[in-house]
Amino acid sequence: MAAPNPGLLAAMLKTQRLNGVVRWKVNFTESSFRGEANLATWNGMWLETSAVRSIQDFVDVAANQTSNSHLIGATIAELIETLFPNDIAENKICIAWSGWQDLVKSSPESALEIAEAFDQICQERLAVVLVCDSSGAFPGISELSQG
């Protein structure tokens, strides 16, 4: 299991060296990830999507985990607009996406569609989605080395 170098994520966020959706083969814990995001003064969001097998499953799980239950049954676009609000200029958001392997295995097209939707919004706003965990491959997104 690859653990992240302490402080590396915070430093990369502070210097804005990360953008878009990036596959990072490290095992964050939710608390260590949130600590790094806080250190960088970014909003950290943890998404754990084990057992998700479709875009709708993903939306529903993410809606519950982010206390947006009104988005259950919504589209991926509606979810993303809520997770990445445009009304605050300094709203820097970093999402750690864990447990994505089941989705990639059951529907690689859906996983890539979600990643592409995330990437598009990340390019428009100051945002990063880290596809983390040391196991598995997520085809179609770039990989980040440990540093």
CA angle 48, 125, 86 (to 5 degrees): 90
Which helix or strand (DSSP H or E) is residue 108 part of? helix 108-124
Q: 33, 44 in Cβ contact below 8 A?
A: yes
CA distance 130 to 88: 22
Structure tokens at 12: 């990369």
SS3 128: strand
Domain limits of the chain? 8-144
* pTM recorded for the entire structure: 0.92
Tens of each residue's pLDDT in the chain, 147 residues:
566 788 999 999 999 889 899 999 999 999 999 999 999 999 999 999 999 999 999 999 999 999 999 999 999 999 999 999 876 656 899 999 999 999 999 999 999 999 999 999 999 888 999 999 999 999 999 998 654
| CATH class for the domain made up of 8-144 | alpha beta
CB 58 within 8 A of CB 103: yes
